[in-house]
Structure 1
């Protein structure tokens, strides 16, 4: 669902772990005071939008809210600053061009094409930039990020997380997370983009949470990077049973781990040991099997390949057809035409 203004479409606030899974988009152009109105609707804690020194200015704000993630895209003709008197989320600053400056607790961090800047919840924060910069910011609900970490580790954690103030976007997990953020940003204004399908949106925001925990150093990083403890076959069976019972459900590795009662890393290790594939590969294989049954038993003209693919969680038809052909030796359309 898309909207010109957000109003009451946003459900719980940024501090909660669960939100309406339907993505919401809004944009506002005008004076900083007019853009301020949209910021007030989006964020649970105040953001003050002004020109540098408090002077009025003109700018444009676009926001995409999906699950516990808010992505903001800014453009201005003059130098702009955004002040959060009491930041209540984890805020990641990116600068695809130019430089974005952030300040929290007297520490100034600069986001560039090489590094991302991080602000933590619990204290005032400020960000500012010049007209040659079009910053992208990603706000993550604390409850959701910490719940994702608990799923990965398999035990409770105490927040807020002490994320590093900056992280490298040129290599390793930082580069991967930056590429993922770029993918979501590219979908920002695409009315027909896959980000506006709740099933895909849930996977993307879950990937952004988990990926950030690996990309940015924090007090649990060493534990997160330790080899996973082996899981028991009973735990793996619980995950398999959940997949078999409802393969169309938008499962992620983390959500399956919660079903199994173990950490996501242990679940992946257990699947590799006892099933031979990852949980997501197993899920795809089950979905392909269900799609094959439906295509094989339906009369030509009664359904379309696209309908079947989407029903079983395949959004990209070309990839669905390629995976289907590898599995069954023919295209989905050929199965549907068979007498």
Structure 2
């Protein structure tokens, strides 16, 4: 009975912290809403609105998965290795708790999840057991669920364990109370409609025409028709990324015509980024996801160069010299193509 009361009290404290209602706090708390930090006054209404809008999903398996894959989720989570555990924090510069780590890793791949561990444990579809688990699956522990991690295979997971520790790779120390699969490597994008809902068409050019003389024009046009991303935009990105060189490899390890990093390629299901057809198709899916999420050509291009997490962290084009120069270069190349 005492243990049960303690669990209830811990859960209440967790909710109070996450909703900005911690009665011991002496200063206004901050909450993260779509990665832009705003001050919370501590009122129930404002805190609840901010907290519940972060995930932008219900807990009935309605997360938007886009092109995310299990391997991509794992790679996204690995970026936070070494971040200290801080209960209630969603800011990796300060620390993360277990459910914040899971939420951010999925968000970096374009998948929105609820903030609370118990709600995350209801997303997606159930997995029968650890022997059936795949990389990227959510492992949840205890009843009620009070801890989550991301499975990486070989009985290992990435998790933010507890105070005094850091985000780390560890063995699956106990039988999960539930395992949920939110994304699957076999998943594909929904049928293409508009890659950039809310943007003026003129901002992206007219699509598939006007690529006479451009290398791989037929592949750009095919990807444009398949994914709803303008062919001229794909060609402009390729021009800036590699000068249309399908064998290009950057000092940082980006590969191929569209200069995909190996981890990004794996997350997109691109098995060979040096294959122009695969590279263009993967880049089209990535740009489509960026355009849908950020609803801005500039931010979509910045995310292509620096990653969506960086764009959300800085709430705009990141202050990196390469990214600051990259966006106008692609837009100039797009303009040169008549886009």
- Bucket of the pairwise TM-score, normalised by the shorter protein: under 0.3
The TM-score with structure 2 as length reference comes to: 0.26
TM-score normalised according to structure 1 size = 0.26
Q: Which has the higher strand share?
A: 1
